[in-house]
Amino acid sequence: MNLPLRKPLMPDLAPVNEPHPKTLTAPVTQAVLTAAALSQLTARLSGKRVLILAGPAESKDELAGVLALAHKGRWPILADPLSQLRQTDDDLLITGSDILFDGAITLGDAQPDVVLRFGATPVSATVIQWLQTFTGQVILVDPNQALADHSLSTQIQLTVTPAILCQALLPQVLPAPARYCQIWQALEAAYRQSVRAIQATEARIPVIMSNKLQDSAIFVSNSMPIRDVDHFYLPNNGHNRIYCNRGANGIDGVVSSALGMAAVSGTPNNYLLIGDLAFFHDMNGLMMAKRHALKVTIIVVNNNGGGIFSFLPQAAAKDYFEPLFGTPQDLDVATVSKLYGAQYERATTAEDLQSYLNETPTGLRIIEVPSDREENTQQHRQLSDALHKVMEDVLENYNTNKSN
Ligand SMILES: Cc1ncc(C[n+]2csc(CCOP(=O)(O)OP(=O)(O)O)c2C)c(N)n1
């Protein structure tokens, strides 16, 4: 958009008293479930193998009722990193869904009959693709009729709030067969055990963050950071909120968004996890940290370019891959830190990062984690293979011991 303005460029300095709109989101409907709808829904869910898919939500309160309902039904919850449910270490939360849903594994007795969806579109493209192939029923809880269902798999759309729905269903539903929940919990336990032991440079960052951070607001950049957080940031009782600019999934404006978060989060414990390209893209946003004395720690994963593209087939086309996709900038993060008056640290080991995250934040701090794109791709592939094996072993164990 290019809006030419005519001189004189003197603004109207008279104060404007119009109140700012409190919220830009549409009002939440207060619809209640009719008795008929509730009984139909109960019949679809009670005693069934239900899988709850908790997508992005604004606050912890939005999906609070979902936990109680899940416990009543013994239903596992695929907890998107932006669902705000990973703030508590609940034993029904599932994080290892990408490995289970990428089509390489037969779910067997872990296969759900029904998917009950809350929140917006999940980060995981694998989960969306799986939903497209899922032959059971998909119910979407969409109070404002505003959630785009990118999977086009919804059969029933409920226009009640999660709170109203969960409260109404809670006394009605009976639990799923015990074995169903047990398998999911065994899968998740094995997954988490492997994730805790990750040594790979980039993949271990969310593991360390989920271990170390408490009462923090965490902003995550698009590209590999949000994927790694989805896969490897484990639920814990640290009460950390996680945010990301989803939608167009741009790598633009991420530094500024994180600083905006830090300005209103109400905590000095603000973090941004970001790749080098996204960081340099919005570098000058850092000015605002100085101007507003913001407390924020930025972890820059510096693999000198777009690490995500090394996972795509074009990585094999050596002649044009680097100038078109890899796009290394060869810029120095330490010099950028100096320019904006940030405290600079370089974390080359897991211990380095752990100890930097132990320090209490006092202002703008930039922690550079050097990485290598090729090595990162190999490490992720090895990790994915190992995690598939772990999950397959658990399922095989359950299938051969039917008495489990
Ligand atoms: C504004 C914008 N431009 C381009 C893209 C395409 N894009 C997606 S991921 C990516 C690479 C990001 O690199 P980096 O931030 O260093 O993260 P990494 O891939 O290394 O994890 C690019 C350019 C985008 N998403 N948004």
* Distances, alpha carbon 250 to alpha carbons 1, 172, 220, 255, 321, in Å: 18, 43, 12, 12, 20
Q: Give the Å distance between the CA of 376 and the centre of ligand 1.
A: 16
CATH number, residue 169: 3.40.50.1220
Cβ of 240 below 6 Å from ligand 1: no
Cβ of 278 below 6 Å from ligand 1: yes
Q: Give the pairing of strands 156-158 and 77-79.
A: unpaired
> Which single residue is written with the structure tokens 């969806």?
117
Q: Give the Å distance between the CA of 226 and the centre of ligand 1.
A: 11
Same-domain pairing of 147 and 226: no
Structure tokens at 398: 């359950």
Cβ of 137 below 6 Å from ligand 1: no
Same-domain pairing of 265 and 147: no
End-of-domain residue from the set 192, 208, 235:
192
Cβ of 251 below 6 Å from ligand 1: yes
| 285 contact partners, CB below 8 Å, separation of at least 6 | 253, 255, 256, 259
pLDDT at 151: 75
Cβ of 223 below 6 Å from ligand 1: yes
The domain total for the chain is 2
Same-domain pairing of 109 and 52: yes
pLDDT in tens, the chain (404 residues): 777 877 777 777 776 665 554 444 444 555 778 899 999 999 999 999 999 999 999 888 888 899 999 999 999 999 999 999 999 999 999 999 999 999 889 999 999 999 999 999 999 999 999 999 999 999 999 887 777 777 778 888 888 999 999 999 999 999 999 999 999 999 999 999 999 999 999 999 999 999 999 999 999 999 999 999 999 999 999 999 999 999 889 999 999 999 999 999 999 999 999 999 999 999 999 999 999 999 999 999 999 999 999 999 999 998 899 999 999 999 999 999 999 999 999 999 999 999 999 998 899 999 999 999 999 999 999 999 999 999 999 999 988 876 54
Domain assignment of residue 216, given as a range: 199-371
What's this model's pTM, rounded to 2 decimal places? 0.93
Cα angle vertex 167, ends 164, 169, to 5°? Answer: 105
How many whole angstroms separate alpha carbon 341 and alpha carbon 183?
51
Cβ of 329 below 6 Å from ligand 1: no
Same-domain pairing of 58 and 204: no
Same-domain pairing of 271 and 362: yes
Residue nearest to atom 9 of ligand 1 (CA): 223
End-of-domain residue from the set 192, 208, 229:
192
Is 385 domain-assigned? no
Count of residues in the chain: 404
Is 162 domain-assigned? yes
Structure tokens at 138: 């998909």
Same-domain pairing of 83 and 122: yes
pLDDT at 252: 96
Is 387 domain-assigned? no
Is 6 domain-assigned? no
Greatest C-alpha distance within the chain: 83
Is 32 domain-assigned? yes
Is 7 domain-assigned? no
Is 256 domain-assigned? yes
